Chains A and B, each alone.
Chain A
């Protein structure tokens, strides 16, 4: 566990980057620091591995004050991933990954075989091992950056806007990959981003920071979306909080109906479309086992009759979910009442929709 106890960073010119920050990053979980530029999120991250030293307060790593550890020794025990990957251009990929093992005095053979394992773990072709960084795409370089951070199997990983320099499609796949890795590795990860969607997607806990280096709110992503602490957090979270919150509700409990006759299905059991007077119309699908309520709702909105098609991982139709089923689930997961709040929004709209169309078919 990483603990910040009243940590402040004040520069010589008087600028306060981080102001009295106290928080805990739990072991084995992803804690995201998010906020606008100038909110001190990167400074906070870099104080953990002492790339920057705090002016006052204490940061402890599993109970030990980081100030008591010599910085290079401390850093060799903490994985560090930065925005532009920061790979060593003169070293081959395999040697880049083996950087920390070499520093720790592992034999070249052992360090390299560990590096090969990691390339595979982060989803890179082992044939890339002998290449130089300039020969890789941005996304591949970032994966190498992650592999390098993991090389000596540190319990803690610090990630400073690691995916913000790649295009949105690559970013999404890197995020998915990180979540997959984390299921397997259970590292204590502190992740910095300015992108609230990334924070909400990746974080077990999200710490929203405001300019001046103060903590605005720290909560799980679903709680953050439903119960923002103040106007700043609400504004920072942006629009569609109610819809985005549905990403955290599994569609597993969705009541499915047998597929109706106007859904055309081929001999493999895959949907072809809805039969209409003008031919086949588009349809939307979701997998109740793996997808969220948000995907199910989206699938319903993509069909002309408001009915989502449930499929298994092979894409075979398992049934359909009409508005009634979706509304029922929406109702069950309506945000809790938190007392009279003037001008509250978000929760009201989804339960309203449930009331008006809640009649079971």
Chain B
């Protein structure tokens, strides 16, 4: 507790380019960029594969890759290939990390919609795209949001590794603290990352409340 008080009580930690607000903002920037790129790729792809049934193998591969992939290893590899100093080495592993949970959950959500409902939608005269957007997606939304939430929490936690390759973010406190044996900084940084992950989790739960139809939320 003393360490925490020392870290958060120090006025110097609250201003300047290596203060908590600046580091938090950097952290959010990487995370948001990686998350958005992953979502833009994986949500439409998952919807399309779930709707058409074509390309399901891709989802299986993605799901397995997610379990096997070492983020840190990939980071080092990309740095070796792309060089230090750009934001790319951090974004690539984060995007790769975020895609599988979004892709798998979106696919499962859309594919798992009751066959009778799909049948009714076509029977009413909806066209393929209308069936996907007006029926399958709203019904699959809870699962799609679950995938997005898992991905976002993972990205926010893992963005800490950016500090390994000389970039900013909350990871700086941890890496630098370890290097200089300033353990108050290590713990303070870790607490900040955990708090941020919880905040993201909470934000998605709110989004779920707002975006999912009460008619769908009930039948889960």
Hey, which bits of chain A sit against chain B, CB under 8 A?
A: 49, 51, 71-77, 80, 82-92, 99-100, 103, 132-134, 148
B103-135 contacts to A, CB under 8 A, are: 116-117, 119-127, 130, 135
Could you list 4 further interchain pairs (A-B, Cβ under 8 angstroms) beyond the known A89-B215, A133-B215?
A75-B124, A89-B219, A90-B215, A91-B213
Report if A90-B213 is in contact (Cβ < 8 Å); known contacts: A82-B119, A134-B219.
Answer: yes
25 A-B pairs within 8 Å (CB atoms) are namely A51-B122, A72-B126, A73-B125, A74-B125, A76-B125, A80-B123, A82-B116, A82-B119, A82-B120, A83-B116, A85-B120, A86-B116, A87-B120, A88-B117, A88-B120, A88-B139, A90-B139, A91-B213, A99-B124, A100-B125, A103-B124, A103-B126, A132-B213, A133-B215, A134-B218
CA distance A100 to B125 in the complex (A): 7
Report if A86-B126 is in contact (Cβ < 8 Å); known contacts: A91-B215, A92-B215, A133-B215.
Answer: no
CA distance A89 to B127 in the complex (A): 19
Q: Which residues of A contact B125 (CB under 8 A)?
A: 71-77, 100, 103
CA distance A134 to B123 in the complex (A): 21
Q: Which residues of A contact B117 (CB under 8 A)?
A: 86, 88-89
CA distance A74 to B215 in the complex (A): 29
Q: In the complex, which residue of chain B has the Cβ closest to the Cβ of A133? A: B215
Interface centre among B120, B126, B213, B216 (most CB of A within 10 A): B120
CA distance A57 to B37 in the complex (A): 51
CA distance A54 to B123 in the complex (A): 16
CA distance A85 to B125 in the complex (A): 16
Q: Check B127–A86 contact: CB distance below 8 A.
A: no
CA distance A85 to B127 in the complex (A): 20
Q: Which residues of A contact B216 (CB under 8 A)?
A: 89-90
A36–chain B nearest beta-carbon distance, Å = 22
Q: Which residues of A contact B135 (CB under 8 A)?
A: 88
Q: Check A88–B116 contact: CB distance below 8 A.
A: no
B138, CB-defined interface residue at 8 Å: yes
Q: In the complex, which residue of chain A has the Cβ closest to the Cβ of B135? A: A88
Q: Which residues of A contact B141 (CB under 8 A)?
A: 90
Q: Which residues of B contact A90 (CB under 8 A)?
A: 138-139, 141, 213, 215-216
CA distance A130 to B212 in the complex (A): 16
Interface centre among A74, A90, A134 (most CB of B within 10 A): A90
Q: Which residues of A contact B16 (CB under 8 A)?
A: none
Report if A132-B124 is in contact (Cβ < 8 Å); known contacts: A84-B116, A89-B139, A90-B139.
Answer: no
Q: Which residues of B contact A83 (CB under 8 A)?
A: 116
B214, CB-defined interface residue at 8 Å: yes
CA distance A83 to B120 in the complex (A): 10
Q: Which residues of A contact B215 (CB under 8 A)?
A: 89-92, 132-134
Q: Which of A80, A84, A85, A92 contacts B124, CB < 8 Å?
A: A80
Q: Which residues of A contact B121 (CB under 8 A)?
A: 86, 88
B36-66: CB near A (< 8 Å → 1, else 0) gives: 0000000000000000000000000000000
CA distance A71 to B123 in the complex (A): 9
**7 cross-chain pairs, A with B, having the tightest CB-CB distances, nearest first:** A86-B120, A132-B215, A76-B125, A90-B213, A75-B125, A80-B123, A90-B138
CA distance A92 to B138 in the complex (A): 13
CA distance A332 to B149 in the complex (A): 76
Q: In the complex, which residue of chain A has the Cβ closest to the Cβ of B214? A: A132
Q: Which of B119, B130, B138 contacts A86, CB < 8 Å?
A: B119
Q: Which of A82, A88, A89, A91 contacts B123, CB < 8 Å?
A: A82
Q: Which residues of A contact B130 (CB under 8 A)?
A: 103
B34–chain A nearest beta-carbon distance, Å = 30
B122–chain A nearest beta-carbon distance, Å = 7
Q: Which residues of A contact B219 (CB under 8 A)?
A: 89, 134
CA distance A76 to B126 in the complex (A): 8
Q: Which residues of B contact A72 (CB under 8 A)?
A: 125-127
A321–chain B nearest beta-carbon distance, Å = 48
Q: Which residues of B contact A99 (CB under 8 A)?
A: 124
Q: Which of B124, B126, B138, B213 contacts A148, CB < 8 Å?
A: B124
B65–chain A nearest beta-carbon distance, Å = 32
Q: Which residues of B contact A88 (CB under 8 A)?
A: 117, 120-121, 135, 138-139
CA distance A320 to B125 in the complex (A): 55
B216–chain A nearest beta-carbon distance, Å = 5
CA distance A88 to B116 in the complex (A): 10
Q: Which residues of A contact B139 (CB under 8 A)?
A: 88-90
Interface centre among A83, A87, A99 (most CB of B within 10 A): A99
CA distance A74 to B123 in the complex (A): 10
Q: Which residues of A contact B116 (CB under 8 A)?
A: 82-84, 86
Q: In the complex, which residue of chain A has the Cβ closest to the Cβ of B140? A: A90
Interface centre among A73, A74, A76, A91 (most CB of B within 10 A): A91
CA distance A233 to B123 in the complex (A): 31
A51–chain B nearest beta-carbon distance, Å = 6
CA distance A75 to B123 in the complex (A): 6
A135–chain B nearest beta-carbon distance, Å = 8
Q: Which residues of A contact B123 (CB under 8 A)?
A: 49, 51, 75, 80, 82, 86
Q: Which residues of B contact A86 (CB under 8 A)?
A: 116-117, 119-121, 123
Q: In the complex, which residue of chain A has the Cβ closest to the Cβ of B128? A: A72
Q: In the complex, which residue of chain B has the Cβ closest to the Cβ of A151? A: B124
B168-200 contacts to A, CB under 8 A, are: none
CA distance A148 to B213 in the complex (A): 20
